[in-house]
Amino acid sequence: MPSVRGTSVDIPTQDGVADAYLVRPDDGSPHPAVLLYMDAFGIRPQLRKLADRLAGAGYTVLLPNVFYRHGRAPVVELPDFIDPARRPEVFERLGPILQSLTPDAAMRDAGAYLDWLADCPLAADGPVGATGYCMGAGLALRTAGTYPERIAAAAGFHGARLATDSADSPHLLADRITAELYFGHADQDPSLPPEQIDRLDEALTASGVRHRSEVYTGAHHGFTQADTAAYDRTADDRHWAALTSLLDRTIGPARA
């Protein structure tokens, strides 16, 4: 992997200061920006490694702690290997924190992240890509619908609750989206049953959104995260190929 440089940064928001991890190619030049949304477990070595890998592909990557209202990362102490079946108390602590992040608050924050990237000399001018995992897939989808003029590509992997019956379900923003989207779903994922996958696809198709939605057979929720019991190397490799293909053809270094 090409040399990259990562650092901790603080991002002012309407509600405080979000700590974040910024990583980019170590050449001093601006590169296309990607907003990487964490899963519920938050910023940790595994997600930094993923951000580093994306930076090595030619991107300036911002990984914010979306739970910053509850403290700097790590908000909850995690074991080196996360197995919810053996450590249910991790989810018990994360549950209330996750539920406290409302769509309105998350999208106020998204605006702050995008403003920060627009002012960052290490991020190239122009639209941004977004990607997210677990809860972060929904945040990426919401960001594409809330800031359509600023997001050119968005991806989500093993996303949860993307097309519910709720009045604030993220799929209801489909008619505002101008970005190209990609979703990699796990077929062994109770947080996104087949009817929600269909509802999401129908909403995006009806709104004319360029998108591709794939179900990864045999994959479980969390399949991209190598520090969890759900990790699936084959599905992870497939996710990486899909993500970099999307970014390269929409905002990639060759387009700069």
Average pLDDT, integer, range 9-15 = 98
pLDDT over 80 (residue 87): no
Strand order through the sheet with 180-188: 4-13, 16-25, 60-64, 33-37, 128-133, 151-157, 180-188, 211-220
Position 170 confidence tier, pLDDT thresholds 50, 70, 90? very high
Distance linking the first and last C-alpha atoms of the chain: 21
What percentage of the chain carries pLDDT values higher than 70? 98
Rounded Cα–Cα distance for residues 73 and 105 (Å): 18
pLDDT over 90 (residue 88): no
40: exposed, middle or buried (C-beta count within 10 Å: 0-12, 13-18, 19+)? buried
pLDDT at 255: 67
Rounded Cα–Cα distance for residues 104 and 106 (Å): 5
Structure tokens at 6: 């990562």
Higher pLDDT, 87 or 60: 60
pLDDT at 89: 81
Query: Which uninterrupted H or E stretch holds 63?
Result: strand 60-64
Q: Where are the domains of the chain?
A: 4-255
pLDDT at 201: 98
Structure tokens at 143: 């960001």
- Asked: is 4-255 a CATH 3.30.460.10 domain? The reply is no
pLDDT over 60 (residue 165): yes
pLDDT in tens, 112-162: 999 999 999 999 999 999 999 999 999 999 999 999 999 999 999 999 999
Query: In this structure, are residues 171 and 162 in contact, taking their beta carbons and an 8 Å threshold?
Result: yes
What number of CA atoms fall less than 13 Å from residue 130's CA on the CB side?
34
pLDDT at 2: 82
Phi and psi dihedrals of 6, rounded to 5? -115, 150
pLDDT at 253: 81
Q: Where are the alpha helices (DSSP H) in 23-133?
A: 45-56, 88-100, 103-119
Asked which of 47-61, 70-84, 105-119, 214-228 is least confident by mean pLDDT, the reply is: 70-84
Average pLDDT, integer, range 81-107 = 88
pLDDT over 70 (residue 256): no
